[in-house]
Structure 1
Amino acid sequence: MRQEDRERNGDMKTEVWRRHIFRYTVIVSALIVGMLSANAKNHEDLFVRCSIDQSSFYSHECVCATMWLYTPYSDIAFVNEVESPHLKTGEFSYISRVQNFHKSHREKVDGKLYYAFPLASFVFAMNDAGKYTMQSGKFEIGINFPVVYEDPFFGKVRTAETRSCIVDMKPVDFKVKSLPAAKDTVAFSGAVGKFSVSTVVPRGDIIVNEEASIIVIVKGRGLLGSDILPEYRDAFGEGNKLKSISEQLNTYFDGESIVSELELECEFVPTDIRNCRIGAVRFGYFNPETKRFEVAESEPVDIDVKSSAVKVEPVYI
């Protein structure tokens, strides 16, 4: 056979081999994509469930909720929130996203073992009593699927492909109970939770007939609105006169519940050196654990008032 014929035959064999490889690659790729697409679309075995700390709670009581992803797949590539959950009817009086302190774990649901991943946590409260349904949370879930295919050169090759699907949150029902009627003996502030009250006197001399200040602190588990204040006016008047107050409210999540801390800086003028007292500051609230109205009360504070003479600096001649 001539050299030209041998080269021509070699080129033909190479071209045939290339066509086979191309056809094989296309078929394998189509099978992989088809398999992954089927897995991504068939997400009946994935679901999102909202877990609320309490299925029944009082109006104005702050509760925590966490959205969980349940999946048989352990390799989650990404999670994107497409739509936030909302109420079927009614409105939240307060809702805020908080840091997620939960950890992923394995859990059995209806006899099947799932991986449970916490997606997001939030706290909320309701004004009106009644039955409610939280619904319509949507998440885009990216899943890494393991793939093994036969490579014509390298044999079996392991890889992973990410496919996404939209998973709806399952609706969850909860009930909000009305607060009982407050007794006439309790000045109810409107707060629901568990609180304490304390009075702090800043360091430094307090001079008679000159402005001074104390700080009243209301702190506890529960939500304090901007219009919720303790009964502080009756604490002043014994050897002093209240001039003004300023408020500072700090609210944070400690991993279990909402914690509120209200500071009232009260400016007053001491009028009596011998007898100047800040009386008890009271704060009435409803405790959902005891199901009763309670009153937190600070200890009275006797103020050490100094004469204005202590401010006179000596003059040396």
Structure 2
Amino acid sequence: DRSVSANDVFVRIILNRSRAYEQEAILCTIKLYTKYSISSFLPTTQPSFDGFLIEEVNLQPQLNEVEHYNGQNYMTAVLKQCIIFPQKSGKLTINSGKYDVTVVQHERFSGFWGGSRPVEKEIKVSSNSASINIDPLPSPQPEGFTGAVGIFSIDSRLSTSSFKTNEAASLIYTITGTGNIKYIKEPVIDFPTEFEQYTPQNEITAQVNGSSVSGTMKIDYTFVPQSVGDFHIGADKFVYFNPESRKYVTLTTPTYDIKVARGAAVSAAADVNKQSISSKNTDILHIKMGDLHPAKVHRYFYSSAWYWPAYIVLALILVAIIWIYSKKVKLNADIQGRRLANANKVAKKRLKIAKGFMSAHDNDKFYEEMLRAIWGYLSDKLGLQASQLTRDNIDRELTEYGAPQNLTDSFINIIDECEMARYSPAKSDEQIEELFNQASSAMNAMEGIKRAKRQ
């Protein structure tokens, strides 16, 4: 038998384009080329996708295609295919992977009959590295742009046409299209201050479509009117970047003018008030006649021992109310502040979904939901857009936030584990549960850190 050369068995990383924008979908294919039969194939080091978010394509590798490459014929198998979304500009490189491969050669032997017999030979194979130039999104970015890249359409509708106080209603907001739809931030809707609002519930249905990802993001904004009258729900601007036309596109939802009637709960309260007034009008006592022995000396409250302590307490309560109200107004006006306040609540909701997939032993969806939870939590907590979510940025921002290095390393390790686990051999239930617990502990530890003041 002869030695196996690098031209006999190799692995290629193939990108469908050599240049792209930040957040633009890129098709990445990892393919095996061989002139020999393969009896075993084991990845020892997977290619690293630093600076990318990954959406993997489900496939079963089969060595049944023949391809003419560099003047020679090879049997080929697609080992992995995924859609990757670059998170920063510049030249990004997908580092090579390493594989242990056992090939089958046919060894000739002499003798009366002669012939050949199969002989297995173990070799080590490395893939190439693939680089791509990523262009930054054009500046200036329009107001309302939060990182959506692709081609999208939007729609909104109210769940009902009849509104009453203390009765819940919903604004259903739907984003449909092709691109980084799984990483789009929920739009912030301009609701009247008289409406009590709940945390938006979103549902994403997406699948790989050709060289990108297509799907629908449905957001349910539940609100409860607290006052009777005419109200206005303002229009929302959804802004995305179209890499084909190289332009930003602004879509606008309609405004809604609604009339809120008095609900049952308010009517009941009104009846109670009427009964109370009625009872007061009939509850008039007779005037007592005779000598009532009125006191000749009167003491005014301001001269009592309780006056100044009570005055100070009431003044402190007034200051506290003003401070809390101003903080609430500032928080409602500050979108970033609202995201920061809700970061832990939203992340724990996604962790709960991930735990459900873990219990169902659906590992792919578990890792996908874990990544969404971690990326979303860090984005809201650190005030980063999706296009800024890179390992370097997270490391730097967590340090500036005041997080200790071991907590920073824990978050980065969780992200690496989730990204690697999606295309590496299946892990045990204990390892998966340990990863889930590590993510929960990291978020709890982060919530206990007070943000350091920026210099």
TM bin (shorter chain): 0.5 to 0.7
- Higher RCO structure, 1 or 2 (CA under 8 Å, sep 6+): 1
Q: Deviations for 1:189-219, whole angstroms, at most 9, x for unmatched residues?
A: 2222222222244479754552212321223
Report the CA distance shift for 1:293/1:221 in structure 2 as closer, same or farther (over 3 A): same
Gaps of 5+ in 1: 1-34, 313-317
Q: Which of 143, 160, 164 does residue 122 from structure 2 map onto?
A: 164
Encode CA deviations 1:235-270: one digit per residue, 9 max, x unaligned: x349x7352332435364424223464332212235
RMSD: 3.8
2:46 to 74, 84, 90: 84
Q: 2:237 aligns with which of 282, 297, 307?
A: 282
Q: Deviations over 1:107-127 (max 9, x none)?
A: 222222222321112332333
Say which structure is richer in helix: 2
Q: Please tell me whether residue 126 in structure 1 is matched to residue 78 in structure 2.
A: no
1:258 maps to 2:216:
no
8 Å CA contact retained: 2:196, 2:223 = yes
8 Å contact 1:198–1:298 — kept in the other structure? yes
**Would you say how many aligned residue pairs link Structure 1 and Structure 2?**
265
Is contact 1:129-1:177 (8 Å) kept?
A: yes
Which amino acid in 1 is paired with 2:39?
Answer: A
Structure 2: gaps spanning 5 or more residues: 268-455
Q: 2:223 aligns with which of 268, 271, 276?
A: 268
TM, length-normalised to structure 2: 0.49
Which 10-residue stretch deviates more, 284-293 or 243-252? Answer: 243-252
Letter in 2 for 1:250: I
Residue in structure 1 matched with residue 275 of structure 2 by the alignment: none
1:219 partnered with 2:173: no
Shift of the alpha carbon at 1:69?
A: 1.2
Does the 8 A contact of 1:99 with 1:253 survive in 2?
A: no
Report what 2:404 is aligned to. Answer: none
Do the aligned partners of residues 301 and 166 (structure 1) sit closer, same or farther apart at CA in structure 2, a change above 3 Å counting? Answer: farther
Structure 2 residue 62 is matched with structure 1 residue 99: no
Q: Distance in 1 between the 2:131 and 2:227 partners?
A: 60
More strand by share: 1
CA-CA distance at 1:282 after TM superposition: 2.4
**Greater Rg, structure 1 or structure 2?**
1
Q: Does residue 228 of the first structure (1) align with residue 170 of the second (2)?
A: no
Instruction: State the alpha-carbon separation in 2 of the partners of residues 218 and 45 from structure 1.
Output: 48
Question: In structure 2, do the counterparts of structure 1 residues 68 and 93 end up closer, same or farther at CA, with 3 Å as the change threshold?
Answer: closer
Indicate how the Cα distance of structure 1 residues 237 and 116 shifts in structure 2: closer, same or farther if over 3 A, else same: same
- 2:133 maps to which residue? 175
Separation of aligned partners in 1, 2:58 and 2:161: 39
- Following superposition of structure 1 onto structure 2, how do residues 1-317 of structure 1 map, counting pairs within 5 Å? 35=1, 38-39=2-3, 41-73=4-36, 75-86=37-48, 91-100=50-59, 105-146=65-106, 149=109, 155=113, 160-182=118-140, 184=142, 186-202=143-159, 206-224=163-181, 228-233=185-190, 236-237=191-192, 241=195, 243-248=197-202, 250=204, 252-256=206-210, 257-259=212-214, 261-270=216-225, 280-299=235-254, 308=263
Question: What is the percent sequence identity of the aligned residues?
Answer: 24
Matched letter for residue 76 of structure 1: I
Distance of 2:109 and 2:161 partners within structure 1? 79
Residues 270 and 276 in structure 1, CA contact (< 8 A), matched pair in contact too: no
Mapped contact 2:33–2:74 kept (Cα < 8 A): yes
